[in-house]
Amino acid sequence: MAATTESVTNLNSPNRAFPLERTRNIGIAAHIDAGKTTLTERILFYTGMIHKIGEVHEGTTVTDWMEQERERGITITSAATTCSWMQRPEEGIYKAYSGIKMRVNIIDTPGHVDFTAEVERSLRVLDGAIAVFCGVAGVQPQSETVWRQATKYGVPRIAFVNKMDRTGADFDNALESMRTKLGANAWPILFPLGREDYLKGQIDVINKKAIIYIDDNSMGSTYEIHEIPDDLKDKAQAAYDDLVAQMCDLDEEIGMLYLEEKPISIEALKAAIRRQTIANRFVPVVGGSAFKNKGVQYLVDAVVDYLPGPLDIPPAQGMDPDTSAPLEVSANDQGNFCSLAFKLWSDPFVGKLVFFRVYSGKLSKGDTVYNPRTNKRERISRIIQIQADKREDVDTCYSGDIAAIVGIKNITTGDTLCDEDHAILLEPPSFPDPVISMSIEPKTKADQEKMGIALQRLAEEDPTFRVFTNEDTGQTIIAGMGELHLEIIRDRMLREFKVEANSGKPQIAYKETILMAANGEGKLVKQSGGRGQYGHVICKVTPNERGKGITIENKVVGGTIPKEFIPAVNKGFNEAVLNGVVAGYPVIDVHVDIIDGSYHDVDSNEMAFKMAAIFALKDAMKKAKPILLEPIMKVENITPDEFQGDIMGDLNRRRARIMGIETKGNLSTVNAEAPLSEMFGYATAIRSLSKGRSSYSMEPSHFEQVPEQVKAAILEQKS
């Protein structure tokens, strides 16, 4: 897949600082509190980008730059930063890019499930990722979500088992949970030397050396290369043999060397690991501790050695905006300009920022870009490279670069920006639907207009945040991925837009669907002198498979509904599904067939057929056993054994299903599925039940039918 040396030279612009083959675009993703931001901070320190390490708990990190992030000690928005790295030539250790300066663009993503959109859109534009796991907890619920997202976009990964200095850290357990829970073909290339208080460094499995970090005031910058201690030689040899065995199975070149009984050099083994990692068939695993400054430098070496550059990944897939014919875009500075806008951000100093990833060509100040979704052209007046919250103006950005444009209009997340003469639509990232909503109203009349502007800006930035007006009450409703998500939105409204607002109680985003097929008929006949209204639609609804959404098919034969009215019928159906027949919630996963109808030569028009379609669908839905669905959350609770009974009893009261219990030492991990409606205030409840010693995480899983007694209570509240 990689380009030859000669062809690589032709792909690079002579003006770019780092050629494509020496560029890495990576993300750091994991479960909340696994140590992503701490790891990013160490990488920036060791690459010379910062001269003092910031700490999450002190609120001094580079990538957690928002006030809310620093106060809460969590990442809310993904932050992009750029650094350069040169692998040190070290005696007795082979490194593929030793002595060559590389550019590494890093995006630090949030771990909290409420901000999953940030991970989704970052992974869409990255070439590789470091998946961080906690050495004590191993694979956690959000780790699985992040892993699935990376798999969806085909992003090659390196796994970093962090926090090996913590009490209870177990590298082998974490490795095993990656294989069993994630199905990852994960094998160590650098495993920790010691653990907990005795963590000294790493064993380099491939080079068969020990890397010992010096505990002095230079924050882990210095280390020494030693022979592997005698008591670990057998373990290191077994890890090497396992690694070679895996490569023999996966890689043809190593397999042939093995069969021909030829020696497998370190260079050949590393090249094979790189090939199989890029092909997403292998996951190299590194162990260490970011907080204790042990193992980060060799992790960056592994990023350079094994993760792909822009030339190593398959071409970006898109389609012709006019013909929908499939098109491909390969990394090439000399090619036609093509990029994907993956994030919008309102910056208090420079205004609206559009983050974009260049897939092909280059973009300079003064160039004009074309947006095929809107058919609009825009002149680029300013391009900036981001260092978290710092801005650096650049004249040109090239293929493989991640940068931001200032002041571009009429753009949304997922838009393609390209050369007008070679228009292409790249596939945008996909985002989950909100699961929680609340009403919001301005405190004063003066806040009214400001609130509208603030909500519009925030909705533009965040594809999982929605704003709409309740037709019955006239209230403004905001919807998002969780309580924390909406809390941060309100906080940002106050701090960034100076809007004070009152909010109602959080409401669950219920959905409706059907259990059986049924026909429905809708007719609009109005005659009041002069031209009347006539529309007549007969449809059939059937349950769709979960996650398929609303699909519509025209099965009208003989022209009983003229072709020109079919779009109006489709519009009517799409409007009707916004309010279901059970309790007025949106309808999901239903297939609609337009099967028959009739028309009037004079009185039929688009509005009449749209209304007839709404009546027909509502009629069919009522006969098709409509049901109410509620969001179900996946809950993981880690608790000392003594509180396990109380925690499980509390979950049972919350209509939860216990999916399994794992015991490790004196800690129990209770896995359950529970309705979101029952999980409000859960953090406070478990704190009092466990004297503050239990912790939990929660993420959306799926929708399930609401039990009858609960449904009755919901309908009563709605009425």
pLDDT recorded at residue 2: 41
Q: What is the pLDDT of residues 520-557, one digit of tens each?
A: 999 999 876 667 899 999 999 999 988 888 999 999 98
Return all residues near 33 (Cβ < 8 A) that are at least 6 apart. 74, 111, 134
Q: How far is CA 185 from the centre of its chain?
A: 22
Which helix (DSSP H) or strand (DSSP E) does residue 543 occupy? strand 533-543
Look up residue 228 and give its two tokens. 């592997």
Assess whether pLDDT exceeds 50 at residue 669: yes
Strand 338-347 versus strand 351-360 pairing type? antiparallel
CA quadruple 388, 392, 397, 398: dihedral sign: negative
- Average pLDDT value for residue range 606-616: 94
pLDDT recorded at residue 466: 86
DSSP type of residue 698:
E
The percentage of residues in the chain with a pLDDT greater than 70, rounded to a whole number, is: 90
Q: Which of 162-166, 384-388, 458-462, 529-533 has the lowest average pLDDT?
A: 384-388
DSSP type of residue 676:
G
pLDDT recorded at residue 550: 92
pLDDT recorded at residue 270: 94
Q: Walk me through the domains of the chain, giving residue ranges and CATH numbers.
A: 22-306 (3.40.50.300), 316-426 (2.40.30.10), 439-509 (3.30.70.870), 512-624 (3.30.230.10), 628-718 (3.30.70.240)
DSSP type of residue 557:
-
Give the distance between the most distant pair of CA atoms in the chain: 101
Residue whose pair of structure tokens reads 């004249």 in the numeric block? 395
Mean of per-residue pLDDT scores for the chain:
84
Buried (b) or exposed (e) across 464-501, using 16+ Cβ within 10 A? bbbbeeeeeeeebbbbbbbbbbbbbbbbbbeebbebeb
Q: How far apart are CA 534 and CA 568, in angstroms?
A: 13
Q: Between the ranges 57-66, 99-108, 380-389, where is the mean pLDDT highest?
A: 99-108
pLDDT recorded at residue 542: 96
Reported confidence tier of residue 301, pLDDT bands at 50, 70, 90: very high
Assess whether pLDDT exceeds 60 at residue 635: yes
- Read off the amino acid at residue 82: T
Reported confidence tier of residue 390, pLDDT bands at 50, 70, 90: low
pLDDT recorded at residue 64: 42
- Average pLDDT value for residue range 179-192: 92
Q: How far apart are CA 103 and CA 105, in angstroms?
A: 7
Q: How far apart are CA 465 and CA 480, in angstroms?
A: 5
- Average pLDDT value for residue range 98-122: 76
- Neighbouring C-beta atoms of residue 218, cutoff 10 Å: 9
Contact 88, 211 (CB under 8 A): no
Reported confidence tier of residue 611, pLDDT bands at 50, 70, 90: very high
Q: What is the pLDDT of residues 47-96, one digit of tens each?
A: 776 655 555 544 444 444 445 544 545 545 556 788 888 888 888 898 88
pLDDT recorded at residue 692: 73
Assess whether pLDDT exceeds 90 at residue 350: no
Question: Kindly report the CA angle at 499 between 683 and 490, in degrees rounded to 5?
Answer: 20
Q: Between these two residues, 428 and 598, which has the higher pLDDT value?
A: 598
Adjacent-strand bridge partners of 628: 512
pLDDT recorded at residue 62: 47
Q: Which of 425-434, 446-455, 651-660, 708-717 has the lowest average pLDDT?
A: 425-434
The percentage of residues in the chain with a pLDDT greater than 90, rounded to a whole number, is: 35
Assess whether pLDDT exceeds 50 at residue 5: no
Q: How far apart are CA 483 and CA 145, in angstroms?
A: 19
pLDDT recorded at residue 207: 93
- Average pLDDT value for residue range 642-652: 91
pLDDT recorded at residue 217: 56
Q: Between the ranges 22-31, 278-287, 425-434, 673-682, where is the mean pLDDT highest?
A: 278-287
- Average pLDDT value for residue range 138-143: 80
- Neighbouring C-beta atoms of residue 704, cutoff 10 Å: 14
Reported confidence tier of residue 608, pLDDT bands at 50, 70, 90: very high
pLDDT recorded at residue 74: 53
- Average pLDDT value for residue range 632-660: 90
